Amino acid sequence: MSNFDESEQNSSHTQSFSYADLNAEEQELSAEVLEAVAALPSGSALLVVKHGAEAGSRFLLDKELTTAGRHPNADIFLDDVTVSRRHAEFLRVGNTFQVRDLGSLNGTYYDGVRIESALLHDGSEVQVGKYHLTFLASRKDLGS
């Protein structure tokens, strides 16, 4: 293991986002996705697939509980062996959302860190198996 690898493992990471960072992320999104986000009612959000064959696919979060996994009955069906049948769930709490891992084999990641649960922030990334999803909150709920 190189010294770089050791220092990476031993340091804690804090990542902050500025409006400039968020605006750069939004510039990478298609006009269609930006229009969909602008039209979201309060209390809803979108998950947008960032990479791969399904890049640009969108999943609406508009219920109290939305399940994600490889099971055909999942609200968000992610068809890949890296995704557990019951992988994660997204919970709406007021106008905010949380993601919670359901004991999946490969874990659920929030901005690159494996989590059991996390409060989602606009522009953050959730990884479920090979799927990298950008969380986009309703513009009506930002700052509230």
Whole-number pLDDT of residue 26: 44
Whole-number pLDDT of residue 13: 46
CA distance 110 to 83: 15
Whole-number pLDDT of residue 3: 43
Spatial neighbors of 46 by CB under 8 A, at least 6 apart, are 33, 36, 37, 40, 58, 59, 60, 61, 135, 136
Q: State the DSSP string of 82-143.
A: TS-TT-EEEEEETTEEEEEE-S-SS-EEETTEEESEEE--TT-EEEETTEEEEEEE-TTTTT
Element (H, E) at 27: helix 19-28
Whole-number pLDDT of residue 128: 96
Token readout for 83 is: 């995704």
70-98 tens-digit pLDDT: 999 999 999 999 999 999 999 999 999 99
Element (H, E) at 26: helix 19-28
Whole-number pLDDT of residue 7: 40
Its pTM surpasses 0.75: yes
Q: Please choose, from the candidates 54, 140, 144, 65, the residue with its C-alpha nearest in 3D space to the C-alpha of residue 102.
A: 65
Whole-number pLDDT of residue 30: 87
Whole-number pLDDT of residue 106: 97
DSSP-derived secondary structure letter, 71: S
Whole-number pLDDT of residue 29: 81
- Cβ contact 122:137 at 8 Å: yes
Whole-number pLDDT of residue 143: 67
Sheet holding 96-101: strands in order across?
A: 76-77, 65-69, 88-93, 96-101, 117-119
- Can you list the residues of the chain whose pLDDT is less than 50? 1-27
